[in-house]
Amino acid sequence: MSPETPPEFSLLLAATPEALIVTTVDGHIVAANAPAAALFGRPAEVLQTFHVGALLPEELPEGERARRFAQRPGGAAFPAEVTQTRFSVAGATWFSVLVLDASRQEAIESRLSERDRQLERAARLAQLATWRWDHAALHFELSPEFCALIGIGADQNRLGLVEAMKWVHPDDRQPVIERMQQDFASGSSFAFDMRLRRADGHAIPVHCDGEIDFDARGAPVGVFGVVQRVTGHELVQLVRRYFDLEAEVAERALAAQALRAERDRAQQYLDVAGVMFIGLDARARVQLANGRAAEILGCPVDEIVGSDWFGRFVPEAMRDGVQTVFSRLMAGDGHVDGIARYENPVLRADGKERLIAWHNVVLRDDTGRITGTLSSGEDITDRRRAELTLQRTMHEVQAVNRELESFAYTVSHDLRTPLRTIQGFSQLLLADHRQSLDVEAQALLGRIAHNAERLNELTEHLLALSRVGRATLTLRPLDLAAVAREVVDMLAGAPGADRIEWVIPASLPARADQDLMRALLQNLCDNAVKFTRTVPHPRVEFGQTEDGVYFVRDNGVGFDMAFADKLFRPFQRLHDRSIEGNGVGLATVARVVERHGGRVWAESSPGHGACFRFTIGTGGS
């Protein structure tokens, strides 16, 4: 300690087993104990030459423990738990800084975190979902995985008994309730198979395990359980067992009962599956089919089982090719490409074809001998038709876009040039020959020049509308309020704009295309400027309602809602020519909103202003 350090510090330093540093108010170290010297690797008298910032570079809160990085002089940084406390001794104010090495604690926390991630990953890979029954509160609590399994939101995880039983298949509810009541009363754990009913109506087979929770007196207070979905892999194992038992019947009569039980269980799971299952033996005879297969093929399961699959259900045009591939599989050819996933049509009982996407596996007995195949198939006929329709539509849209581009080029080059020529010669004629023209001729030339200018302006707006439809949509976070203020600055020179009271919020976050939204707001604000010129105190407000709808509201002349359906069509005007415009601006607004997947509409009445509202969807075109 330095000579001016109060002697009371010696007792404080000696009585503290952790690393302790005492500093002045401005952070200069005046004392340090032995643990601090050991922690920072410097003698206490050397530490007194440092500022506390050299050892603890980050700002320290006062009076509370904080996790910070400490720095050993000339060494590496390490995590630490730091507590800084203000105290007074000998009429002066000091700070005590208690430093605990947190390296080992961080390593432990990291291992615990990694363990939790591994456990979560294992549960996810095993498709485990947990539930808990609180007997006192009489409700179930479902894990997020359980909620996802039955297709409900994670916030709907607390259910009463009656409500919870609605998610159990109707045929399984009474057995499940009786089994749980019996095991809860006896205090034994339980395990059984059942079916859950998803929110979309589909039934899914699951295996359920439960264990009773007891209080300190040994009385049951609840149940903790897990359910695991019976996956496609388990279905394959069940079917493999079925084929194995089928082969053993001829040798062991006692296996017949087990065969029927396994077959019935496999059939039950297969019948609730959302895809068709077909099992073939080595001769391509159907040994197994589920309810979905009967639905797609248009005949009962009993008619499907035992039939020649290729002769009855594969279209003749591709029958030979498919049979050749199957024969190679049965012969043990492991080099058949594309067999795991395959697409081909099947022939229904009514003669119609359906396109099926197959997932195929080869079945073997315990000796490794190939006994047949098991295939799961999804009917993709409607999806493929929709894809083809979408492709045709995309080609048509591309063709229309090419026509629009051609039109824009024509307008840009073939129409604008003669317009400028008409306008230029009219102005030149007035400038050079005004004296030789009577008043009527001058007026006619003025009208020609004015209308040429209007037509040129209309051309510019048509090109802008075309660009809105063809521009690449770039969605990104932006502040619509800032965009609106930019638009107001651009309109500052417009007649009447300087009289308007603009009301714009400080910030209005959105996710949209900035250039297109600027065009939208420019057209809406320009529209508001034009229709408030005759109002004594014009006011225009841009904002957003609580339900997320954006709006631009003015107190101008308004319009009759009987004609509102014309608002967003090109070249449609609801007012006379005393108010300039060409009817393209609001059409541009509608196209921008459409590109953002939203909708636009207006509300007004004559003499009471107008309000244009629009939404921005999550998608775009």
Classify residue 121: in a domain, yes or no.
no
379 within 8 A of 278, measured Cβ to Cβ = no
Residues 6+ apart with CB under 8 A from 502: 488, 540, 541, 542
- What are the residues facing 544 on neighbouring strands? 550
Q: Tell me: do 608 and 515 sit in the same domain.
A: yes
Residue 560 CA to residue 558 CA, distance in Å, equals 7
Q: Is the dihedral of CA 49, 55, 60, 65 positive or negative?
A: negative
Classify residue 114: in a domain, yes or no.
no
Q: Is the dihedral of CA 436, 438, 441, 447 positive or negative?
A: positive
Q: Tell me: do 501 and 576 sit in the same domain.
A: yes
Classify residue 433: in a domain, yes or no.
yes
Q: How far separated are the first and last CA of the chain, in Å rounded? A: 74
- What are the residues facing 512 on neighbouring strands? 476
Q: Tell me: do 301 and 352 sit in the same domain.
A: yes
Which has the higher per-residue pLDDT, 476 or 588?
A: 476
Q: What is the CATH number of the domain that holds 49?
A: 3.30.450.20
CB atoms within 10 A of CB 411: 16
124 within 8 A of 103, measured Cβ to Cβ = no
> 């541009």: which residue's tokens?
588
CB atoms within 10 A of CB 98: 18
**For strand 276-281 and strand 286-289, is the pairing parallel, antiparallel, or unpaired?**
antiparallel
What is the token pair recorded at 303?
Answer: 């008619």
Residue 223 CA to residue 133 CA, distance in Å, equals 5
Q: Which pTM value belongs to this model?
A: 0.36
| pLDDT tens track for 17-51 | 889 999 999 999 999 999 999 999 999 899 989 99
pLDDT of amino acid 257: 60
Considering just the CA atoms, what is the radius of gyration of the chain in Å? Answer: 40
Measure CA 432 to chain center.
68
Residue 14 pLDDT more than 70?
yes
Tell which of 333, 361, 379 closes a domain.
379
What is the token pair recorded at 469?
Answer: 């439809």
pLDDT of amino acid 579: 47
Domain count, the chain: 5
pLDDT of amino acid 478: 94
226 within 8 A of 130, measured Cβ to Cβ = yes
Classify residue 621: in a domain, yes or no.
no
375 within 8 A of 363, measured Cβ to Cβ = no
Q: Report DSSP letters for 561-572, one per residue.
A: GGGGGGTTSTT-
pLDDT of amino acid 413: 58
Q: What is the DSSP letter of 537?
A: S
Amino acid at 563: F
Confidence category of residue 555, pLDDT binned at 50, 70, 90: very high
Q: For the chain, what is the mean pLDDT? A: 81
pLDDT of amino acid 263: 63
CA–CA distance from 189 to each of 214, 228, 258, 327 (Å)? 12, 16, 26, 49
Structural domain boundaries enclosing 451: 385-468
Strand extents, DSSP E, 57-127: 65-71, 77-89, 92-101
Classify residue 1: in a domain, yes or no.
no
Tell which of 230, 251, 278 closes a domain.
230
Confidence category of residue 539, pLDDT binned at 50, 70, 90: very high
CA–CA distance from 432 to each of 73, 322, 353, 439 (Å)? 89, 88, 81, 15
Helices (H), 249-330: 255-271, 291-297, 301-304, 309-313, 316-330
> 């039980």: which residue's tokens?
261
Element at 191 (helix H, strand E): strand 190-197
Residue 515's SS3 state is helix
Q: Tell me: do 31 and 88 sit in the same domain.
A: yes
Tell which of 446, 468, 490 closes a domain.
468
Q: Tell me: do 238 and 374 sit in the same domain.
A: yes
> 């039955």: which residue's tokens?
150
Helices (H), 434-490: 439-470, 480-490
Residue 477 pLDDT more than 80?
yes
Q: Tell me: do 357 and 267 sit in the same domain.
A: yes
What is the token pair recorded at 516?
Answer: 């297109």
Please choose, from the candidates 285, 304, 273, the residue with its C-alpha nearest in 3D space to the C-alpha of residue 378: 273
- What are the residues facing 203 on neighbouring strands? 197
Q: Tell me: do 475 and 445 sit in the same domain.
A: no
Q: Tell me: do 480 and 592 sit in the same domain.
A: yes
Confidence category of residue 575, pLDDT binned at 50, 70, 90: very low
pLDDT of amino acid 603: 92
What is the token pair recorded at 99?
Answer: 């430093």
Share of the chain above pLDDT 70, in %: 78
Q: Tell me: do 43 and 98 sit in the same domain.
A: yes
Classify residue 3: in a domain, yes or no.
no
If you count them, how many residues does the chain have? 621
